[in-house]
Amino acid sequence: MQDSTLKLLPPDIDLETKRVLKQLARSHRALAELKGFADTMPNKNILLNAVTINEAKDSSEIENIITTHDELFKAMSQSNYNNPAAKEVVNYRMALWKGYEFVKAKRVMTINMIVEIQQDIEKNRAGIRKLPGTVLQNQTTGEVVYTPPSGEREILELMSNLEQYLNDDYDAVDPLVKLAVIHYQFESIHPFYDGNGRTGRIINVLYLVLKELLDSPILYLSKYIIRNKTAYYQLLQEVRTKEGWEAWVLFILDGIEQTAEETLLLVKRINAVVDKTAEDIKEALPRVYSKELVELLFYEFYTKTAYIETGLSVSRKTAAGYLAVLEDAGFLTSQKIGKERIYLNKRLFGVVQEAGS
Ligand SMILES: Nc1ncnc2c1ncn2[C@@H]1O[C@H](COP(=O)(O)OP(=O)(O)OP(=O)(O)O)[C@@H](O)[C@H]1O
């Protein structure tokens, strides 16, 4: 078992080695390309909602909360829908949104904000750990590999040091390298009884927004972590046991490059499906078509009569009429869930589902 002495930041080592600098250039290039394309998208909410639903699903999957897009769509559209896994995923996405709005407005990341994110994910008010007993185990063997700091005072001291590292650039280290340090440090402090992984993954993307490397929270390492789970746990551990910083930083930088490239493809696909659907509706249903209607249809991958009624300022009857016509023409498919009829945007759902499978 490792002892729990965790050092304060910054690490006392040159993180920007030759190999790191080489990979950094590639990661920054991929990230800048994604940011550039996303910035030109006319309606960013379309993109954001679609990308974050997949992130919520992937990040929760690391914690073995497995759900399907179909269940998610039901849980998102019905607040009383009873599927615990899908509900947890919806909570995750709400926590992510709240954190994003905070960082966008305040341009800082604080311990309180991090505590709130964890509370929103777990839906409990336990906050920072006060009781000892939390240990990290090897995922396969169950062997205890690390005991994180256990005193509340020590945890708070480490968190306040992390808060300073997040917000100040006193060490002039590249922000992507710092992101790797921040993720290691946060997971090693392990400030909460649970939800540390998911909270840490939200901190990652909010940090990119804080450092203005992205405008919107659209780059997520969760899928990369799922694909490289063994290496992820091993490299985290080796920072502690072997000062294995270089391999860890390279792992995160490589993840940023790969994920930025994949996300760019997804964003382009979403953009293309919005444009093509707009054209098709215009041609097939010119009397129903409006730019605003298409935007409403793509806001989430489902819609309801009430959203169209409010969004277009039309009567309920007119809104219901539009949706019925769109369903007849094959653009939407409806289901009665509870008392309400929910309309699924089949094309967007298809793109999101394919990217998230
Ligand atoms: N050896 C280790 N050193 C530091 N952090 C670790 C180590 N092993 C695992 N972790 C971190 O702990 C997280 C799990 O913590 P916790 O169970 O509190 O979070 P979670 O969100 O509930 O779970 P998950 O991350 O599996 O979704 C992992 O995602 C990883 O980031």
pLDDT tens-digit profile of 16-26? 999 999 999 99
CA–CA dist 134, 150 (Å, integer): 8
Give the pTM.
0.94
pLDDT at position 235 over 90:
yes
44-259 placed in CATH 2.60.40.1120:
no
Name the residue of 3, 6, 61, 63 to mutate for ligand 1: max ligand atoms within 8 A of Cβ. 63
The dihedral sign for the CA sequence 189, 10, 177, 244? negative
For residue 262, give every residue at least 6 positions away whose Cβ sits within 8 Å of its Cβ, in sequence order, or none: 223
Res. 4: pLDDT tops 70: no
| Ligand 1, atom 17: closest residue by C-alpha | 194
Give the position, in ligand 1's atom list, of the atom nearest the Cα of 65.
27
pLDDT for res 100: 96
In DSSP terms, 136 is beta-bridged to 146
Whether the pLDDT of residue 1 is over 50: the answer is no
Residue 117, ligand 1, Cβ within 6 A = no
Q: Are 64 and 57 in contact (CB under 8 A)?
A: no
Lookup: tokens for 116: 């709130």
d(CA 237, CA 124): 28
Rounded Cα gap, residues 185 and 196, in angstroms: 11
The conformational region for residue 127 under phi > 0 = left, psi -120 to 50 = alpha, else beta, is left
CA gap 156, 162 in Å, rounded: 10
305 Cα: distance to centroid of ligand 1 (angstroms): 42
- CA-based R_g, the chain, Å: 22
CA–CA separation, 225 and 223 (whole Å):
5
Query: Tens digits of per-residue pLDDT, 138-155?
Result: 888 999 999 999 999 999
Ligand 1 pocket residue status of 118, Cβ below 6 Å:
no
Residue 2 has pLDDT above 50, yes or no: no
Q: Are 202 and 117 in contact (CB under 8 A)?
A: yes
Q: pLDDT class for 188, splitting at 50, 70, 90?
A: very high
Q: Which of 233, 261, 267 is nearest to 51 (CA)?
A: 267
Read off the pLDDT of each residue in 318-344 and give the average, rounded to a whole number: 94
Using CA positions, which residue lies closest to atom 29 of ligand 1? 197
Give the integer Cα–Cα distance in Å for 324 and 328. Answer: 6
Q: Give the per-residue pLDDT at 73.
A: 86
Instruction: Please work out whether the CB of residue 136 comes within 6 Å of at least one atom of ligand 1.
Output: yes
Write down the pLDDT at residue 280: 98
Nearest to 96 by CA among 136, 148, 53, 33: 53
Report, as an integer, the average pLDDT of 284-298.
95
Residue 191 host element (H or E): none
Q: What is the mean pLDDT of residues 177-191?
A: 98
Q: Pocket of ligand 1, candidates 236, 240, 243, 245: which has the most ligand atoms within 8 Å of its Cβ, to mutate?
A: 236
State the distance from the centre of ligand 1 to the C-alpha of 141, rounded, in angstroms.
15
Mean pLDDT of the chain: 93
pLDDT score for 337:
83
